[in-house]
């Protein structure tokens, strides 16, 4: 990739008008673009091209190896590395945000890390959590009763998902920092290097202290299991422990908050589909699955890089180039899905890419599906007449090209 002017700047429209913008690019080859505050990369939008990036061994998630290769004379366009959303390629940021985790490594490290974490998120393990999810969701929804307007994001999505992931990890309620603020910093587009460094240092100090406390007094929780090592003699380093704990907290609630909000919004946008779900509550699971496809909580997923020159979608891409993969676009590819821009809760199950693919398939997928399904079912059952409390066009999407979801979703429940 050369230093020529990118063909397309993905600015505010890539956030506020993401589905429409990405849909216009479908059917085309990878396109050279830039994102706010970043250098150039290659945007991949077609379903087959996006899917290919998940299992091509020439495409790496190991950011440290890629940047080391570039520093040693590798070619390719210099880019700003992501901490999930955006960060800065400068010494005071790189290394200060915990990123030694599953999203940014390749086998064999990825295989080892995933094996140690996986046991807590199997479908069977997650299903045992169902009564707790139902209890929390019921309490949050009941607290909405008697109010005229509530916010689906702040009153349901955030508290439900944070309570659940913190309970799984063993993070005491009275010691929980503002994890949502951390998500906004790490996954947003507007954080300054100073904010990233300060938040990275705060997260590192918090989890280092929590890990030391659990070493001294282990509990029946995932972080204690990771410290002990649950796969023979394998152990995570302290850096891996801190990074993995942060990843599980952020990824364990942020995406699902967007999924819950997007599902409610889709049912409000398509009253006929809401009527179908209300008439046949068993369709709630279908509605969640269709939301994952139609209004995916992830737009441009975490970065990956070419370890050598490749050709993708007929386009030659050099080594050490960043690939910006739009899962949102891929899931609306009409070459893959009929009537792709239609929200249809009766659609037959489809192989969408909302949770990734292959070895990078999201560990938390069973939990996210269950939480969203229970939240949606509980909300619809309690309030038979949901309606937007603000004009549809006034809703603002979060300032993130990684995640796709509204900042708030005020609805009338009276």
Long-range contacts of 192-195 (CB under 8 A, 24+ apart): 193/87, 193/88, 193/90, 193/92, 193/93
Token reading at 125: 């393990």
pTM (predicted TM-score): 0.89
Q: Which CATH number fits domain 8-412: 2.60.40.10, 3.30.43.10, 3.40.50.2300, 1.10.630.10?
A: 1.10.630.10
Long-range contacts of 155-160 (CB under 8 A, 24+ apart): 156/260, 156/375, 156/379, 157/256, 157/257, 157/258, 157/260, 157/261, 157/375, 158/253, 158/257, 160/133, 160/136, 160/260, 160/371, 160/375
Q: Quote the pLDDT of residue 17.
A: 85
Q: Quote the pLDDT of residue 3.
A: 46
Q: Quote the pLDDT of residue 401.
A: 84
Q: Residue ranges of the domains in the chain?
A: 8-412
CA–CA–CA angle 270, 289, 262 (5° rounding): 50
3 state SS for 273-316: HHHHHHHCHHHHHHHHHHHHHHCCCECECCCEEECCCEEECCEE
Q: Quote the pLDDT of residue 394.
A: 96
C-alpha 214/C-alpha 192 separation (Å) is 33
Neighbouring C-alpha atoms within 13 Å toward the C-beta of 61: 24
pLDDT in tens, the chain (414 residues): 444 544 677 777 778 888 888 877 777 889 898 876 666 789 999 999 999 999 899 999 887 776 666 666 554 443 333 444 433 344 345 556 667 777 778 888 888 888 888 877 888 889 999 999 999 999 999 999 999 999 999 999 999 999 999 999 999 888 888 888 988 888 877 778 888 888 989 999 999 999 999 999 999 999 998 888 744 456 788 888 888 888 898 888 899 999 999 999 999 999 999 999 999 999 999 999 999 999 999 998 878 899 899 999 999 999 889 999 999 999 999 999 889 999 999 998 888 999 999 888 998 999 999 999 999 999 999 999 999 999 999 999 998 888 999 999 999 997
* Cβ 129 vs Cβ 367: under 8 Å: yes
CA–CA–CA angle 7, 13, 15 (5° rounding): 115
Query: Scanning the structure block, which residue is given the tokens 């849909």?
Result: 23
């Amino acid at each position: 990739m050369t230093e020529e002017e990118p063909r397309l700047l993905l600015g505010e429209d890539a956030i506020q008008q993401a589905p429409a913008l990405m849909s216009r690019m479908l059917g085309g080859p990878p396109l050279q673009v830039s994102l706010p505050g970043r250098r150039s990369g290659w945007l991949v939008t077609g379903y087959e091209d996006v899917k290919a990036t998940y299992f091509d061994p020439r495409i790496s998630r190991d950011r440290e190896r890629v940047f080391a290769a570039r520093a040693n004379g590798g070619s390719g366009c210099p880019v700003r590395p992501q901490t999930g959303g955006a960060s800065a390629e400068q010494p005071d940021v790189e290394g200060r945000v915990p990123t030694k985790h599953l999203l940014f490594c390749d086998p064999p490290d990825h295989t080892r890390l995933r094996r140690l974490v996986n046991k807590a998120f199997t479908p069977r393990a997650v299903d045992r959590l169902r009564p707790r999810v139902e209890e929390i969701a019921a309490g949050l929804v009941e607290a909405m009763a008697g109010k005229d307007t509530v916010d689906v994001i702040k009153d349901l999505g955030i508290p439900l998902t944070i309570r659940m992931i913190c309970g799984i990890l063993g993070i005491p309620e009275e010691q929980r920092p503002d994890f949502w603020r951390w998500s906004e910093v790490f996954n947003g587009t507007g954080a300054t290097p100073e904010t990233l460094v300060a938040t990275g240092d705060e997260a590192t100090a918090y989890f280092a202290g929590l890990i030391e406390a659990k070493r001294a007094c282990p509990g029946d929780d995932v972080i204690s299991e990771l410290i002990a090592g649950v796969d023979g003699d394998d152990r995570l380093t302290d850096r891996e422990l801190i990074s993995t704990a942060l990843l599980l907290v952020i990824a364990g609630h942020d995406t699902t908050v967007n999924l819950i909000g997007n599902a409610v919004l889709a049912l409000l946008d398509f009253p006929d589909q809401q009527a179908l779900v209300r008439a046949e509550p068993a369709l709630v699971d279908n509605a969640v699955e269709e939301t994952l496809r139609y209004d995916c909580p992830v737009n441009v997923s975490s970065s990956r890089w070419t370890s050598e020159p490749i050709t993708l979608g007929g386009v030659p891409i050099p080594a050490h180039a960043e690939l910006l993969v739009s899962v949102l676009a891929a899931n609306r590819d009409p070459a893959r899905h009929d009537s792709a821009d239609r929200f249809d809760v009766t659609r037959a199950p489809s192989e969408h890419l909302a949770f990734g693919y292959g070895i990078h398939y999201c560990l938390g997928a069973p939990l996210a599906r269950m939480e969203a399904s229970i939240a949606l079912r509980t909300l619809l059952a309690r309030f038979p007449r949901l309606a937007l409390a603000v004009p549809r066009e006034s809703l603002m999407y979060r300032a993130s090209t990684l995640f796709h979801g509204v900042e708030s979703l005020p609805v009338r429940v009276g």
